Chains A and B, each alone.
Chain A
Amino acid sequence: MQGIIIATVAVGVIGLLMGLLLITVDKKFKVEVDEKELAVREYLPGNNCGACGYAGCDAMASAIVHEEAPVNGCPVGGAAVAEKIAHIMGVDAEETEKMVAFVKCSGDCENAAARAHYVGISDCASAVASGLSPWTCDYGCIGFGTCAAACPFDAISVHDGVARVDREKCRACGKCVAACPKHLIELLPDKSPYAVRCSNKDRGVAVKKVCSAGCIACKLCEKQCESDAIHVENSISHIDYEKCIGCGKCAEKCPVKVITKRA
């Protein structure tokens, strides 16, 4: 009987001491959490992609609250998220333009000429480093899907040897842009209907040899454009989206149909 009493008292005292200790620790080492930060974090997408340039969504939320990052700093969340965060922060959200990734190559199995049977690691960067491209074009999409593997939103898939971006799923985080060893992917404003689907910087004759859908730098698009938005530089046509009004005259005239309306 005495044993039970001693045990009960001992456990009770230890429990009391532990409780006091916990209370002190809680008071002393309390982490101040900004209510605002929690609220902002709530609206951020939470996939920690890092596209904003911060370590993750928590870091981004803290940066927004400390006014180190703009309220529309999350490219993934876009305008909807920016608006909600702006409301918390009590400022007006600037208009953010929705961007999407775009693969500047149309050299699929039908258009591009095959060069070699590549055997090795199924990764675009490895294939490029080995010097053995499956395609004759030195600039085009390899098609092993390194960009698709890098995409945190499952927005890229490879069809017929060329990567394609799903505009609905793309959040413009830019991971694919960094992953592509051929530097084929560019972020374009989602609302712009036209884009040049080629990156070949060779002259027309050389392009014709390797791909039936490559830009031959004929400059017809340049002549059509009324808003001075499309230019041929380094033997490749490029659209300036600040100026493009989306009239589609360039696409109409393009003899190789490399300027296309985006699906």
Chain B
Amino acid sequence: MKLKTLKTFRGGVHPEGHKNLSKGQEVVPYLPKGDMVFPINQHIGKPARPIVAKGDEVLAGQIIAEADGFVSANIISSCSGKVKAIEERHVASGARATCIVVENDGQYTLAPGIGKVPHEGTLSNKDILDAIKAAGIVGLGGAGFPTHVKLSVKDPEAIDYVIANGSECEPYITCDDRLMQDENRGIVEGLRLVLQLFPNAVGVIAIEDNKPDAIQAMEAVCAGEKQISVQPVKAKYPEGGERNLISVISGRDLRFGQLPADVGCVVCNVSTLNAIYRAVHHSEPLMERYFTISGDAIANPCTLSVRIGTSHAELVEAAGGIKPGCNVKKVLSGGPMMGIAMSSLDVPTCKANNALTVLAEDEVEIADEQMTACIRCGRCTRACPIHLIPQMMAEAAERKDYEQYEKRLYGLDCIACGCCTYVCPAKRPLMQLFKQTKADIMAAKRK
């Protein structure tokens, strides 16, 4: 193997990956047995509007809640059965959301028209965007931004990079890694569809160098491609952050408040691209996704192909359950860096949920008792991948000096990656403070 220096960004941290736990397992589809729950707000933007009522029969692939407005997304039933209720339930974030509960008949009868090849000839750009919108596709990397909105940029000709994000940097999670090995063709086809929307763009598939199998699989299908290339990048957290990936691939830095399209880039997660391919070429709406169940408390950590709406409790069982004699200390929706602590497993898998991490007692160190005052060592500033000053932001946030936080320290640009909290020797809950402050400022702005 030839040695070459890999590109990366300034800042960031190197948490232990723990990816070997679930990496080696073959991905099998998991068909849930229990009720399926579909929250109507699985995306950023306005919640979808339910178009079914209690008692209705629904089929797998049927739209059960329609996008309400432009920045919104359809909600698709991933099973067949009867609508049991439309009620408030808890979701993985701990909040409550209106959910459509479908009593799963276990048949998975598909709605008519799904799986057929829709177009023989060439597709127009509108066809592609319409198919993406109908399929209810949102950013599957975690943010859940409706994909048809992301791809409808003002000036498509100004885009010169479409970046496929295969830099799954969050520890424990291996779903994108597996997907790139299993569905490499789908990802490239999806990327080709997106490239059609942007005539002047080249496609770059960015993969961290700790996933050699995925790099190999993607390079195999990209061989001979002119417009599409695979770019290995250095394994570092948060390499897969949108801003960082843009700076690594295109060399452009996003200024405060800028969006990727402002610097001519569009970033899509590899799972989103695969979903685009399946929606456009096979008329298959977003019904399932790869999902990693990992952590040292899980008997058989693995990645499964999971139907959206499946209860997390069922997924833990599907992964062999909790190791016997294991004392579970922490359950996270997502990975340990950005994941959200959960108090119940009785929540559905949403489109943007990509992993469940269950940690045992000896793996978790509770920071609470060890917290001390800030010692102004500046490690957070060095670690911040978008070059903010977390120490000063925390001071401003604690005083509730929102003017300082927003205007002078650009605190709204914090991506909540958790690097500052990870390196803080005083164990201060910086990320929680910033998330809270951002929410407060946004709420005050809406008033």
Contacts and interface: CB of A to CB of B under 8 A. Distances in A.
B436 A125 contact: yes
A132 interface: yes
B24 interface: no
A160 B342 CA distance: 24
Given A121-B432, A131-B93, A133-B343, 17 more contacts: A120-B429, A120-B432, A121-B429, A121-B433, A121-B436, A125-B436, A129-B435, A129-B439, A130-B340, A130-B436, A131-B95, A131-B340, A131-B341, A132-B94, A132-B341, A133-B94, A138-B96
B341 A130 contact: yes
A119 B366 contact: yes
B345 to A, nearest CB: 12
B437 to A, nearest CB: 10
B340 to A, nearest CB: 6
Interface string A115-138: 110011101011001111100001
A131 B433 contact: no
Given A115-B343, A121-B429, A131-B93, A126 B436 contact: yes
B343 A116 contact: yes
A116 B440 contact: no
A133 B341 CA distance: 11
Mostly, the A contact residues are: loop
B429 A131 contact: no
Q: Report the interface size class on chain A.
A: 10 to 19
A125 B440 contact: yes
Interface in A73-131: 115-116, 119-121, 123, 125-126, 129-131
Contacts of A119: 366-368
Contacts, number: 42
Contacts of B340: 130-131
Contacts of A116: 341, 343
Contacts of B342: 132
Interface in B405-443: 429, 432-433, 435-436, 439-440
12 contacts: A119-B366, A119-B368, A121-B432, A121-B436, A129-B432, A129-B439, A130-B94, A130-B341, A130-B435, A130-B436, A131-B340, A131-B341
Interface in A34-83: none
B432 A130 contact: yes
A120 B432 CA distance: 8
Contacts of B95: 131
Interface in B87-136: 93-96
Contacts of B440: 125
Contacts of B367: 119
- When A and B form their complex, which 4 residue pairs have the shortest distance between CB atoms, in order from nearest? A131-B94, A116-B343, A119-B368, A131-B93
Contacts of A123: 436
Contacts of A130: 94, 340-341, 432, 435-436
A163 B433 CA distance: 23
B353 to A, nearest CB: 13
Contacts of A131: 93-95, 340-341
Contacts of B94: 130-133
Interface in A164-199: none
A119 B429 CA distance: 9
A119 to B, nearest CB: 4
B29 to A, nearest CB: 30
A136 to B, nearest CB: 9
Interface in B273-308: none
A129 B433 CA distance: 10
Contacts of A133: 94, 343
A130 B342 CA distance: 10
B38 to A, nearest CB: 19
B426 to A, nearest CB: 14
A115 B94 CA distance: 11
Nearest to B341: A132
A213 B362 CA distance: 37
Nearest to B435: A129
Given A116-B343, A121-B429, A129 B366 contact: no
Contact of A132 (B343, B429, B433, B435): B343
A119 B435 CA distance: 15
Nearest to B398: A121
A13 B374 CA distance: 57
A132 B93 CA distance: 8
Contacts of B433: 121, 126
Nearest to A116: B343
Contacts of A121: 429, 432-433, 436
Interface in A213-263: none
- Choose among B341, B343, B368 the residue with the greatest number of A CB atoms under 10 Å from its CB: B343
A121 B432 CA distance: 8
B260 to A, nearest CB: 27
A119 B365 CA distance: 11
Nearest to B96: A138
A129 B432 CA distance: 9
Contacts of A125: 436, 440
Interface string B26-56: 0000000000000000000000000000000
B142 to A, nearest CB: 16
Contacts of B344: 115
Interface in B376-422: none
Contacts of A126: 432-433, 436
Nearest to A117: B366
Contacts of A138: 96
A246 B343 CA distance: 41
Interface in B325-355: 340-344
